[in-house]
Amino acid sequence: MTYYTHVYDIAVGDFPTACENFTKLTGVEGIPQWEGYSGGHDGMHFPVGGLSTLGLLAPVAGSSDATSQAIERLIARRGDCGFLLGFSVKNLERTIEDLAARHVRHTEPWRVGDEVIIRTKPICGVSAVFAEHDDGHWEEWFRGKLRNKSVTPPAVTTRHHVLGTLAIEYATSDLARSTDAFSALLGETPKPVTGPTGGAVTCYEFPLIGAQKLRVYGQGGGFSQFREQRIARVVEKFGDQLMSICFEVESTADSQLELEGLGFEFEAPSPVEEGGVITCATLPVHGVAFEYVQAGP
């Protein structure tokens, strides 16, 4: 079963700064979270291809909102980091049956705004949410009606902008355990991926709709030194966590040059070629690396 990724949320402590940073890193104007969803926490979502959005969620001090409190606890333990991976499904009841057959534990369904959702136990530090939306949700979304009109998002000032999401990447200290958990969650058999220099398989890839691919990396797999360093940083700090989100851009060189001028640090002085693909990646920003992949001819 290939699920549609409609949101990937990052938990942040400094909401205004994160909104400014993510606007620059995506080149996309954010959509303030609709009041029907927030109910006691701050949220901003950036449309990054199709129905997929990159989100920021932040706690509100003193809020009794369960999501706000969960974000606050997570940040206290780990700092800014990945929080939720959201999937849109057409039939939540059938999805619950499928998850039960694969022994995936989850909450009871509950309603948030115009959707009914369940949440699973975390995998690599990030919980998955499956949501069935009411009829007409996506029409309302595209008309711009599901947004908090009292909040003005930061303006886009960069030439750089992302063209779409290519992959969501996790790093883990236990590749077999994490791969098995994602396989049960997604109902998919992963594809082993070897690095350009060969060696043992330390990455497995799952198909998605929207974000296209979900990858899980262990250490020591013959990838570029910069990717190996990225994996090692996440494993050393978290053990298991969302590592990076990969976006397509027109020119990695132009994107890196502009973003460095805005103060963002990159893993390498210039874009690198890995497996025939030209990429560049930031050092972690609010706990997550942004990797940019140059669009093909």
> Which of left, alpha, beta for 285 (phi over 0: left; psi -120 to 50: alpha)?
beta
Average pLDDT over residues 186-194: 94
Do 178 and 290 fall into the same domain?
A: yes
Do 170 and 98 have their domain in common? no
Task: Please state the pTM of the whole predicted model.
Answer: 0.93
Tell me the per-residue pLDDT of 144-177, one tens digit each, with 9 for 90 and over: 777 887 889 999 999 999 999 999 999 999 999 9
Q: Do the domain assignments include residue 150?
A: no
| Residues 121-134: tens digit of each pLDDT | 999 999 999 999 99
**How many Cβ atoms are within 10 Å of 265's Cβ, its own excluded?**
10
Co-location of 24 and 77 in the same domain: yes
The predicted model gives 64-80 an average pLDDT of: 90
Beta-carbon-side half-sphere exposure of residue 137 (alpha carbons within 13 Å): 18
Residue 138 has pLDDT above 80, yes or no: no
pLDDT at 210: 87
Stretch 46-55: mean pLDDT? 84
Same domain for 186 and 222, yes or no, is: yes
**Are 177 and 289 contained in the same domain?**
yes
More confident residue, 193 or 148: 193
Q: Which residues on neighbouring strands pair with residue 88, listed in sequence order?
A: 4, 131
Same domain, residue pair 66 and 180: no
Provide the number of structural domains found in the chain.
2
Nearest to 278 by CA among 202, 229, 231, 224: 224
Residues 101 and 186 in one domain: no
**Domain contains 245:** yes
208 within domain boundaries: yes
242 and 197 co-located in one domain: yes
Task: Give a yes or no: residue 221 inside a domain.
Answer: yes
Q: Which pLDDT band, with edges at 50, 70 and 90, does 297 fall under?
A: low
Pairing state between β 289-294 and 277-281: antiparallel
Report the pLDDT value the prediction gives residue 240, as an integer from 0 to 100: 95
Tell whether 148 is covered by a domain: no
247 and 286 housed in the same domain? yes
Residue 240 in any domain: the answer is yes
182 and 271 part of one domain: yes
Mean pLDDT of the 43-63 span: 87
Residue 226's domain comprises 164-294
Domain with residue 122: its CATH number is 3.10.180.10
pLDDT tops 80 at residue 36 = no
Q: Does residue 189 sit within a domain?
A: yes
- The reply to whether 149 falls in a domain is no
2 pLDDT exceeds 80?
A: no
Same domain membership, residue 118 and residue 18: yes
> What is the mean pLDDT of the segment spanning 75-91?
94
